[in-house]
Structure 1
């Protein structure tokens, strides 16, 4: 198993984490048990994963407005930014300002990506300036996300270190974050295929996922970063991760599917059949991956909500309101709206608006148009 190849120091810490995790991560049990079996949790990643690859500089005011609009559209978990070096990810500059000034609703989660201890220290310094108070606003955030990959080549490109080294970094960050009362969510990139190594071993995905959970993550999001996944390959991967020795239960997993080949919604439906109930999505289909040339954005939040309409599944978020948000941010960024459902609903609205105008003017507009 992968854990056997960890450094002795990390292996010992992981073993200790297994015995103490029930106490430290009690908040994650509450999170998992307060939802019914058919409720689908949407983690909105547009403000972080969606914006980080935009070429033009995005002002903090736009990021704040995006998060506020997503709040008002009824989403409960919104990834708000990243405490990474602006040198490497320029679009995430100003995250501290954004999460300090955005609307923060009680009961919502606003995770931020934290790659290392330096990033965590910056976040903890910020939180110290916003201590919780009775009747006051919630803190800027109560959750962080950490990340690694299922292949050595991608991990090296993304974090400039090996998988084991990345897990050692994550362990230090996670331990300190948990000690300060923060929830920790894990990401594993390239769970289906890697732009450098090709097809990825499902067993390796399982080993890395198990390591993140043992370190202290309450949940691990499995990322089809390149977007090559199909229902068949996603099923194969999940069967391995959730089966055999060291099995990972479905309620500890989330799906993060990019829509490069248009199969992300189908992959979500397959994952639902296998017991997963949490999925990452990005309004307007924002996003991509700088380390995966040609990969398109995350599955659009609007598309996920539309696909679940009329099913046994419930989810947070108002579809019509999210269509408006996707339209707004796409225009703001001067990019094409990548949501199929969003574009279709916007086109239907426009058609209905024109039909209403024709009814109001008694067909005069058509007569005038015919004469031109």
Structure 2
């Protein structure tokens, strides 16, 4: 079973020029859950002036339906964000730490080491609160400002996150520059380092900016990774990364996985319907291909 973590309500919407009303965000989350999503990155607790699309995080959390077996994730960037997430009733938190100094300062207005210490603090607090915590390392495959990233840096940070109590470590190709050979190398190095420290789950977050996101996802699955982020419609990107485009699309990923004989919890037809809903809400077609092409074999003759 491949667990697909749905990130369209957060990483998807944060980079859109159209700000959806709270009711539409709640409906998007409800549709994702109805389609079979069991972990949904629903909101982020950041400054409204920095990311206006996430200004209503508490209101969104107040509006989502609580269902057994469904976990709502809140992204946090600091201790204050963690406190807001706990008060809003998220089920788990995800802390983002950029790997490079320049991206850290552009994205979060703080140094990379300061942000890593913050992540360690939040992970420890989450452990004390009995709340699952993941740490996502942004620009782990390449930085728009500094270029190539030393994998040893990523490995060292992953070890620190595990030691601090993170139950999950995510490697993010924030700007979509990675290729399968890089995935194989980095996943292998991180796994080897973590084996002697702790046993956090490994999760991957790919963008399809240069059309390598799905190939990278297959490479990760071939290595035994069972947790992948994806965004319905393929929307999203990072507002602080130049020319960043969307995440890999949930429906396109599910088609790829299931046609390859791998199971997910997701219903393809409902995902496609939700992508169409999202496109109408945003006022433009979504980047994903399945809403245009349909699955195969098609349940309805063309």
Cα 1:203/1:246, change in 2 over 3 Å: farther
- TM-score after normalising by structure 2: 0.93
Which of 162, 168, 171 is the aligned partner of 1:213? 162
Matches for 1:61-72 after TM superposition, within 5 Å = 61-72=23-34
- TM-score after normalising by structure 1: 0.77
* Cα distance in structure 2, aligned partners of 1:334 and 1:50: 15
Compute the displacement of 1:158 (Å).
Answer: 1.5
Whether the 8 Å CA contact 1:185–1:218 is kept in 2: the answer is yes
Whether the 8 Å CA contact 1:229–1:263 is kept in 2: the answer is yes
Specify the alignment match of 2:62 in structure 1: 100
- 1:174 paired to 2:113: no
Matches for 1:1-372 after TM superposition, within 5 Å = 39-126=1-88, 140-243=89-192, 252-345=201-294, 352=301
Whether the 8 Å CA contact 1:251–1:276 is kept in 2: the answer is no
* Cα distance in structure 2, aligned partners of 1:41 and 1:120: 25
Tell me, which stretches of 5 or more residues in structure 1 are unaligned? Answer: 1-38, 127-139, 356-372
* Cα distance in structure 1, aligned partners of 2:13 and 2:176: 18
* Cα distance in structure 2, aligned partners of 1:209 and 1:161: 19
* Cα distance in structure 2, aligned partners of 1:248 and 1:259: 32
* Cα distance in structure 1, aligned partners of 2:199 and 2:111: 27
Q: CA RMSD in A?
A: 2.2
Cα 1:42/1:347, change in 2 over 3 Å: closer
Whether the 8 Å CA contact 1:223–1:256 is kept in 2: the answer is yes
Moved over 4 A (4+): 244-251, 346-351
Could you tell which deviates more after superposition, 154-163 or 282-291? 154-163
More helix per residue: 1 or 2?
1
Compute the displacement of 1:69 (Å).
Answer: 0.5
Compute the displacement of 1:236 (Å).
Answer: 2.0
Count of aligned pairs: 302
Tell me, which stretches of 5 or more residues in structure 2 are unaligned? Answer: none
